[in-house]
Amino acid sequence: MAEPQPRPVLITGAGRRIGLALAHHFLNQQQPVIVSYRQHYPSIDTLREAGAVCLQADFSSDDGILTFAEAVKAQTSGLRAIIHNASDWMAEKPGVPLSTVISRMMQIHVHAPYLLNHALESLLRGFGHAASDIIHITDYVVERGSDKHIAYAASKAALDNMTRSFARKLAPEVKVNAIAPSLIMFNEHDDAEYRKQALDKSLMKIAPGEKEIIDLIDYLFTSCYVTGRCFAVDGGRPLR
């Protein structure tokens, strides 16, 4: 009898940075991957060539989120995990209505994972005890707050809270956890002065790279007991 094919890992927002690194990590392990992307980058072509299913998605509306869910269902009858990595960043600033800021942040960080977790629940269930995972990528500001990005911080806090609610709803078949990173990696255009200031904000004073997140997710996938928890990956920044 042929071995059953591994269930895909779904990663939202995988066109760049941590989401992209996660996609390549799983592909290198011969783990099927489905990714969403909002904007096309050359990295999406590279993922396709490596075997990933890449689906363009518009999470700016509930209809767009549910359309994406249907596209995922058309690709597979089961998912190993959903990693909610898609994110947006918008500050309160003059000229931008506050209602626009809060609506946009809540749409990406709350509506999208909330609707997708419900819509794709059947793809995660039915594979045994602790056999599937949902991981919400939040932010260290959930604990600290932010005076310049209030809506962003509030939306990530809501996502953090949903971690515990979905853990209660989906146990024991599906484990649901959150990861709250601070500085993980720099952008290419970040100058030396900015990098120094950013590094000084943490106790560990490094930008550790995406491997910190990858290693934590590997651990969470192998655990049969950890659920409903948030894992800070912030170099001790809240202690500064």
Catalytic residue list contains 152: yes
Q: Which one from 114, 140, 152, 219 is the annotated catalytic residue?
A: 152
Residues 6+ apart with CB under 8 A from 228: 163, 164, 167, 168, 171, 176, 177
Q: Catalytic residue numbers?
A: 152
